[in-house]
């Protein structure tokens, strides 16, 4: 019966109506061959006692769980949460539950999570691959996913070796545009607060920066490049060093907005003025960037859009059963604000 912690099952209802579980099941799913009266009675009763399908059982029977997996390296930045929001906003109505796994850039954790999600029979996986995975070149865990015909979609970070859908933003182009903007604005000694060595996202932005300098015949000066770990604090000391150079930079391109605002603070504290003496441009267009003083120019990645497009890709795969998914590269957009005004 309805003992406290035992949820009511189809069998309970069957017992109540002295009929078979199959009848109850069919009644609840509006099967055509069920008598109208019994159908109504059963449905009303089920409603009353708060019957709810056991997803586990359901999942076991048809190898589907009504769950989607999202694997990201972190959720502490605006970018990732915005992507998740985007996914959510599109998939909400389909009634999926989203399982979110955070890898901290670890290959092992990523592998474990993929396996666990597969064991949980998720109906799709959205993956932003970890740096370690990218470096290691181990993709067996992903091949596994595809082999099992589970839709796999790369969000933000892709890997060419695995043939599946992806939504990414061209980091290189974004960095190039930011640098070009600084150059066109008249800056010549452009510093770059880059991300950690080896991280794809750092390297691509660094390359965009470097290539743009070259394109405009501005000599690359490695003294003008400093390392950060993406966090604001990590930009303080490097910026202080840059601005203490005998010939300090007239512009700084930060690998993200956190780094850039920290740099701005240091620059101002040291008595330089922004944007007249030093121009600053960031990356990610975080929601706070427009409100800085001065407001921060930044490369927008439309993080939420990534999630939305990824969700749409997934739905396409589902609805049309197309297995060949698109690889969409979204264009970054430079937002010009006070920190780089002429």
Partner DNA sequence: ATTATTTTTACAAACGTTTGCATAGGTTTC
Partner DNA sequence: GAAACCTATGCAAACGTTTGTAAAAATAAT
Residues that bind DNA (CB under 7 A): 6-7, 9-11, 18-23, 25-26, 28-29, 33-36, 38, 51-54, 57-58, 60-63
Three-class HEC string of 165-180: EEEEECHHHHHHHHHH
Which among a second copy, DNA, none contacts residue 25 (Cβ within 5 to 8 A by kind)?
Answer: DNA
Report, in Å, the least distance between residue 95 CB and a second copy: 8
94 lies in the binding site for a second copy (CB under 8 A): no
Q: Does 76 bind a second copy (CB under 8 A)?
A: yes
Yes or no: say if 152 and 164 are a contact pair by the CB < 8 Å rule: yes
**Binds 335: which of DNA, a second copy, none (CB < 5-8 Å by kind):** none
Cβ 27 to DNA shortest distance, Å? 7
Stretch that binds a second copy, among 10-18, 26-34, 159-167, 259-267 (CB under 8 A): 259-267
Which residues ranging from 215 to 244 are in contact with a second copy (CB under 8 A)? 232
Eight-class DSSP state of 338: G
Cβ–Cβ < 8 Å for 312, 90: yes
Closer residue to a second copy, CB minimum distance, 4 or 246 = 4
Q: Hey, which residues between 290 and 319 contact a second copy (CB under 8 A)?
A: 290-293, 295
Q: Are 211 and 240 in contact (CB under 8 A)?
A: no
CB atoms within 10 A of CB 95: 7
Judged by CB under 8 A, the residue of 20, 29, 47, 52 near a second copy is 52
3-class secondary structure for 229-274?
A: CCCCHHHHHHHHHHHHCCCCCCEEEECCHHHHHHHHHHHHHCCCCC
Per partner kind, with CB cut-offs from 5 to 8 A, the member of a second copy, DNA, none near residue 223 is none
CB 97, CB 66: distance < 8 Å: yes
Is residue 93 involved in binding a second copy (CB under 8 A)?
A: no
Q: Which three-class secondary structure string do you get for 55-103?
A: HHHHHHHHCCCCEEEEEECCCCCHHHHHHHHHHHHHHHHHCCEEEEEEC
Comparing CB distances to a second copy, the nearer of 214 and 233 is 233
User: Tokens 């070009």 correspond to what residue?
Assistant: 180
Query: Which residues ranging from 135 to 174 are in contact with a second copy (CB under 8 A)?
Result: 144, 147-149
Q: CB 21 → DNA: shortest distance, Å? A: 4
Q: Cα-atom radius of gyration of the chain, to the nearest Å? A: 26
Whole-number Å distance between alpha carbons of 290 and 271 = 22
Closest CA to 178 of 243, 254, 239, 232: 254
Give kind and range of the element (H or E) at residue 226.
Answer: strand 225-227
Give the position of tokens 């993080």.
303
Q: To the nearest whole angstrom, how small is the minimum distance from the Cβ of residue 320 to a second copy?
A: 19
Residue 141 beta carbon to a second copy: minimum distance, rounded to whole angstroms: 10
Minimum CB separation from a second copy for residue 294, in Å? 8
Binding test (CB under 8 A) with a second copy, winner from 9, 19, 45, 59: 59
Q: Which chain residues interact with a second copy by CB under 8 A?
A: 4-5, 7, 50, 52-57, 59-60, 65-67, 75-76, 81-82, 84-85, 88, 95, 97-102, 115-121, 144, 147-149, 232, 258, 261-262, 264-265, 268, 286-288, 290-293, 295
């Amino acid at each position: 019966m309805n003992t406290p912690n035992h949820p009511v099952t189809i069998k309970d209802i069957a017992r109540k109506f002295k009929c078979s579980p199959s009848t109850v099941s069919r009644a609840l799913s509006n099967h055509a061959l069920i008598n109208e009266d019994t159908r109504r009675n059963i449905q009303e009763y089920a409603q009353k006692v708060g019957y709810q399908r056991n997803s586990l059982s359901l999942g076991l029977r048809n190898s589907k769980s009504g769950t989607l997996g999202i694997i990201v390296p972190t959720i502490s930045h605006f970018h990732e949460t915005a992507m998740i929001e985007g996914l959510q906003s599109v998939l909400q109505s389909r009634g999926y539950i989203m399982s979110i796994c955070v890898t901290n850039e670890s290959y092992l954790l990523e592998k474990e999570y993929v396996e666990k999600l597969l064991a949980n029979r998720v109906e799709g996986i959205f993956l932003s691959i970890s740096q370690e995975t990218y470096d290691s070149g181990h993709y067996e865990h992903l091949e596994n996913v595809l082999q099992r015909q589970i839709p796999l979609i790369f969000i933000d970070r892709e890997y060419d070796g695995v043939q599946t859908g992806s939504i990414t933003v061209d980091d290189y182009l974004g960095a190039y545009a930011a640098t070009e903007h600084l150059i066109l604005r008249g800056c010549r000694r452009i510093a770059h607060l880059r991300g950690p060595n080896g991280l794809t996202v750092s390297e691509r932005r660094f390359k965009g920066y470097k290539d743009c300098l070259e394109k405009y015949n501005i000599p690359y000066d490695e003294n003008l490049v400093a390392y950060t770990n993406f966090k604001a604090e990590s930009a303080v000391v490097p910026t202080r060093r840059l601005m203490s150079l005998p010939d300090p930079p007239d512009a700084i391109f930060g690998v993200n907005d956190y780094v850039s605002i920290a740099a701005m603070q240091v620059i101002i504290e040291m008595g330089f003025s922004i944007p007249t003496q030093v121009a600053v441009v960031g990356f990610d267009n975080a929601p706070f960037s427009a409100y800085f003083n001065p407001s921060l120019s930044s490369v927008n990645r439309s993080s939420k859009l990534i999630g939305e497009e990824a969700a749409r890709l997934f739905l396409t795969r589902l609805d049309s059963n197309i297995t060949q998914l698109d690889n969409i590269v979204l264009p970054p957009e430079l937002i010009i604000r006070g920190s780089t005004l002429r």
